Structure 1
Amino acid sequence: MQKNGGSEKKKVPVIQMLVGVFAGLLLIIVLVFVLAILPLQNATEAYNSAVEEYNAAAEDYNSMLSLTCVDNLDGFPESAENLEMVNEDLFSVMKSFLGGNTAKKTQADIETLKEIMEYLSDDTKIMEQITAPSEAWVMERLGRVEDILEIQPVTSDNDPNGLLHRENGGYTACIYFTSTGIESAGDSPVSKGTDGGGAVEVYSTVQDAEARCEYLSGFDNTILYTGSYAIVGTMVIRISYAYTDEAQYEMTDRIAKAFTQLETA
């Protein structure tokens, strides 16, 4: 009887140990779930919301890109690709966690998306302002450019090209300017033409701007060559042949930078 009684007493610590191990494992599981799985699920939901916002910004960017030209500008992606949303159900989140993902990593991805969205938003705003801008806006921006002296828009009475408000390819505005170091005949920027410095022709569509450049290319390497030309948005920036090739490029670049500057609040 004493021997059997001793055997029964020895079983009690084993059971208690198993219960303790089970309780410890349960506690660990609960802690992992509360401290890691749930935060990751919340972060995943926030990530999907950020993806929705990013895709909307990407669509706005691509839509604007189809209406204008940024080929002569640096830093504009050819397109913005949409992103796929991720599964946010509990099983998928747990699988993601076991694969090494965490709420912290997901939050870092969200911050990266926000930064990209900010760039896309700024680029979209720039494209909006260089697409069919007003005459007054172009004149104000030209006034910021170093080495530009006088600025004058054409009217229907003094337009040397006869393209102002003309249907099928005419420009909505054309602003001539004179610049430092360039001497040419005439008593005003318009009368001096592009020879005096250059001009900015504003078109309502990028197709009209492209057609204008195609026309101007017909005079390249001839005695009728008037200088360089480049499309920015729906504008054609023309620079006098009196400049060297390098100086023409530099002046075009200065004007483009003035046109693409975003105002800060």
Structure 2
Amino acid sequence: MKKKIIILSMCLILGISGLGYYFLSYVPYRSAVTKFEDIVKDLQEKNKEVENQIAEAEKVIDSGEEPLDSKKLEELKKAIEDSQNLLRKVPEMEKSTAKIEEQIEELSKPVDYSETIKNLSDKQTLYQNSILQLKQITNPSNTFVEERLKEISSITGVQSVTENNDPNNKLNKQGGYTASVYFVDNQVTHSVEGSDIVQKGNDAGGNVEVYRTKDEAEKRNTYISAFDGTALNPGSHYVYGTVLIRTSHYLTGTQQKELTEKIYNKLIELK
């Protein structure tokens, strides 16, 4: 009888101990683990949004296409780096309940990546737009140049050269331009002779010459610059992409600069 009482007492003690462990240790531990896993899952989902945006931006960079403004590429790379540094890291779960609860408290702090994602998206768009802008001034067609010149209020007429009326005899020849569009600008008040715009030439307003490569455009620009300050004053001349923008020597320096900028901005305008 005494032996049975002892056995029952031991069973009771073990049962109470087991219940104590279950409710005081195991249940809190499992609860902490579950909560930790839920919070980590939520954080991983939020991180994934940023990681997807980073991956998309990196894919665009990896294409290797050149932007008009190289700063746009550096700004996008910086945005990617900043985004990676801002991501809240997912830690390894601790062993003890108390330590897990500390992790839960830290991970429960609000996290908002909306500005990070927006910044990445904006920088990517600016970079991609810059790529498109460079393409627009890389060997554009005469039709494209004509259309953009016509949108400038002071330009009252445009005409592309053909192989039959090309005053320089360079159209479509090796090292020559692929398009040459002359234009008349109403800021030129000096009388200029010629039966049409091509014959009036650069003096009546200006000219946009298009080359296959930037080197060819620069070579032509160097040739023209040899006449600067001479009786054969060629007016202003600047290379952008593979395009050479020229304006009449009858315009003032300020007018030349402003007209060149207007033409350049029209050529790179995205629509």
TM-score under structure 1 length normalisation: 0.76
Q: Is 236-245 or 99-108 further displaced after alignment?
A: 99-108
Shift of 1:24: 4.3
**How far has the Cα of 1:52 moved from its partner?**
2.1
How big is each residue's C-alpha offset from its partner over 1:3-22, in whole Å with a ceiling of 9 and x where there is no partner?
Answer: xxxxx99xx79x85994476
- Assess if the C-alpha contact under 8 Å between 2:72 and 2:127 holds in 1: no
Number of aligned residue pairs: give it. Answer: 238
- Measured in 2, the distance between the counterparts of 1:101 and 1:125 equals 43
1:93 paired residue number: 90
Q: Point out where structure 2 has 5 or more consecutive residues left out of the alignment.
A: 1-11, 93-102
Pairs within 5 Å for 1:66-77: 70=68, 77=71
Q: 1:120 to 1:139 in 2, by over 3 A?
A: same
Unpaired runs of 5+ residues, structure 1, are 1-7
Q: Do the aligned partners of residues 159 and 46 (structure 1) sit closer, same or farther apart at CA in structure 2, a change above 3 Å counting?
A: same
Q: Distance in 2 between matches of 1:261 and 1:43?
A: 36
Residue equivalent to 2:247: 239
Matches of residues 195-234 of structure 1 in structure 2 within 5 Å? 195-234=203-242
Provide closer, same or farther for how the CA distance between residues 26 and 108 of structure 1 changes in structure 2, counting only shifts above 3 A.
farther
How far residue 215 of structure 1 moved from its aligned partner, in angstroms, is: 1.5
Is 1:51 equivalent to 2:54 in the alignment? Answer: yes
Give the distance between the partners of 1:252 and 1:48, measured in 2 at CA: 42
Provide, for residues 144-175 of structure 1, a one-character-per-residue CA deviation record: whole Å limited to 9, x for no partner.
112001101111222122211111x2000100
Q: Give the whole-Å Cα distance in 1 for the aligned partners of 2:209 and 2:110.
A: 52
Determine the C-alpha separation between the residues in 2 that align with 1:158 and 1:173. 13
- 2:124 maps to 117
Structure-2 separation of matches of 1:207 and 1:33: 60
Q: Larger Cα Rg: Structure 1 or Structure 2?
A: 2
1:104, 1:231 → 2: CA distance? Answer: 48
TM-score scaled by structure 2? 0.75
1:100–1:31 CA distance, 2 compared to 1 (3 A):
closer
Does the aligned pair in 2 maintain the 1:44–1:86 contact within 8 Å?
Answer: no
CA RMSD of aligned residues (A): 3.3
Which is worse superposed, 49-58 or 18-27?
A: 18-27
Higher RCO (C-alpha under 8 Å, 6+ residues apart):
1
Partner residue in 1 for 2:98: none
Cα drift, residue 46 of structure 1: 3.4
Query: What is the deviation of 1:249?
Result: 0.8
1:63 to 62, 65, 71: 65
Query: Which residue pairs with 1:171 in the alignment?
Result: 177
> Whole-Å Cα distance in 1 between the matches of residues 108 and 227 of structure 2?
61
* Cα shift at 1:112: 2.0
